[in-house]
Amino acid sequence: MRSDEAQAEPGEAAAGAGQRAPRRLIARDQLGALIQTLAGSGYAVIGPTVRDGAIVYDEVRGVADLPAGWTDRQEAGRYRLERREDGALFGYAVGPHSWKRFLHPPAELLWRARRTEDGFAVEAAPPSPPRFAFLGVRACELHAIAIQDRVFLGGTYRDTGYAARREGAFVVAVNCGTAGGTCFCASMGTGPGVSAGFDLALTELVGDGGHAFLVEAGSEAGATVLAGLASQPATQAALAAAEAVVEGARAGMGRRMETAGLKELLQSNPEHPRWDDIAARCLACANCTMVCPTCFCTTVSDRTDLAGGEATREKRWDSCFTADFSFIHGGAVRASRRSRYRQWMTHKLAHWIDQFGTSGCVGCGRCITWCPVGIDITEEAAAIRAQATGPGKPEVTHGDA
């Protein structure tokens, strides 16, 4: 699964031959068989599970570990789990975790060095990438993975650890049936239906006493796994129901981002008064960057043992909201919160396009939900547009800057 596949248009993706593989129906209990099959093939199966009042991604051993009958209610600065009547397994939007924590882990050993008679010798960290199977990957998250593929694999220098974990991963996607209050994937063109970049894609069909999954294979590996499950051909009614599921999510989308001219708008408004307004609210806590599925920045942390004979370097997630991030001798380049938020948002929605040919935002809404003060990237973008100068400004400007 390469990133360019995930960019393909719906319908021409998957199965390679320009045709989507015929979809099959499986009963709810076959999900357990799927988990076991993947685990039996040596995958660490990671899926949604409820912990500390949130849906997080962790190792799952069976259907019982999945968040049956849970949904999430999300608003700016708020997240709450609630029961839902229908027992859906994937009846939530997204939680604070993303698959980034497995493909691009929060901490990773890069090398060890030890003193020798001659100076020192450096040894690369042994490559022993776990093979992950991800269960329940949303459309926006497939796009986020495709974006990180471009970041880590698309340049002269590849992140070899990421490459190994990525190549080994098996992806079971899930079409969204319930959009979150902070979701805006429809306006980013990244969801709510999955189109490519998966090995298997599920649509959960629940209600009227039934509970089944429509399954589509997106790769040969996926087709092989699907062939091992007890399945029936999809009925017309099931196909129609699956379409309605995704349409329901599209219609229920909590937010919207106007993307037309957004890059030019942000790049030509570095002195917009709205940045000061945001700065007065932003705590520079870095939550938004930690939860964002595409944010990729890291720092290194060097350690030595007490005797000074051995040293290690670890790579760790970092955030452009910290003072250290831009430190050069004499002080941080971005000393103010205004400049840090501006950097984050302008990078995400504008510079990213120059750097990687795609926006860095997939509209998952995490940064809005998990911001302690409820700063909303869609609202900030709209506010900048409403009172902008230069490219991307609205037809009618209100006042002058």
Partner 1 sequence: MSAAAIAEPMLPRPFRVVASRRETGDTVTLELVPLAGSVPDFAPDQFKPGQFNMVYAFGVGEVPVSLSGDPADGGRMVHTVRAVGAVSRAIAAAAPGSVLGVRGPFGSAWPMAEAEGRDLLLVAGGLGLAPLRPAIRQALARGERFGRIAILYGSRGPAEILYREELAAWGQRPGATVALTLDHADAAWEGHVGVVPDLIPGVSFDPRNSVAMLCGPEVMLRFTARALLGAGVPAERIYVSMERNMKCAVGLCGHCQFGGDFICRDGAVLRYDRVAARLAVREV
Interface residues with ligand FAD (CB under 6 A) are: 327-329
**Which lies closer to partner 1 via its Cβ, residue 256 or residue 313?**
313
**Which lies closer to ligand FAD via its Cβ, residue 237 or residue 328?**
328
CB of 306 to partner 1, least distance (A): 11
Residues 335-354 binding ligand SF4 (CB under 6 A) are: 341, 348
Reported as type and span, the H/E element at residue 212 is strand 210-217
**Which lies closer to partner 1 via its Cβ, residue 310 or residue 379?**
310
Q: Compute the Cα dihedral for 110, 290, 166, 263 and give only its sign.
A: negative
Residue from 2, 354, 373, 391 in contact with partner 1 (CB under 8 A): 354
Residue from 338, 342, 366, 393 in contact with ligand SF4 (CB under 6 A): 366
Residue from 93, 139, 246, 377 in contact with ligand SF4 (CB under 6 A): 377
**Which lies closer to ligand FAD via its Cβ, residue 36 or residue 301?**
301
By CB under 6 A, tell whether 282 contacts ligand SF4.
yes
Q: Compute the Cα dihedral for 367, 319, 361, 385 and give only its sign.
A: positive
Amino acid code (one letter) for 301: S
Q: Which two three-digit tokens encode residue 28? A: 């709810």
Beta-ladder partners of 201: 173, 216
Q: Compute the Cα dihedral for 15, 19, 20, 25 and give only its sign.
A: negative
Residue from 89, 225, 375, 388 in contact with ligand SF4 (CB under 6 A): 375
- Let me know: does 182 contact 368? Beta carbons within 8 Å: yes
* DSSP E strands, 1-85: 24-27, 44-51, 54-59, 70-75, 78-83
Running DSSP on this structure, what letter comes out for residue 31?
H
Rounded CA gap, 156 and 139, in Å?
A: 28
Rounded CA gap, 373 and 205, in Å?
A: 36
By CB under 8 A, tell whether 270 contacts partner 1.
yes
CB of 267 to ligand SF4, least distance (A): 17
Largest separation between any pair of C-alpha atoms in the chain: 75
Residue from 7, 41, 187, 267 in contact with partner 1 (CB under 8 A): 267
Sequence-separated (6 or more) residues with CB below 8 Å from residue 397 = 387, 388, 389
**Which lies closer to partner 1 via its Cβ, residue 20 or residue 274?**
274
Binder of residue 199, out of ligand SF4, partner 1, ligand FAD, none (CB less than 5 to 8 A by kind):
none
- Kindly list the residues in this chain that would bind partner 1 in the complex (CB under 8 A): 110-111, 113, 115, 118-122, 124, 151-152, 155-157, 159, 267, 270-271, 296-300, 302, 304, 308, 311, 315, 318, 320, 325-329, 333-336, 338-339, 343, 347, 350-351, 354-355
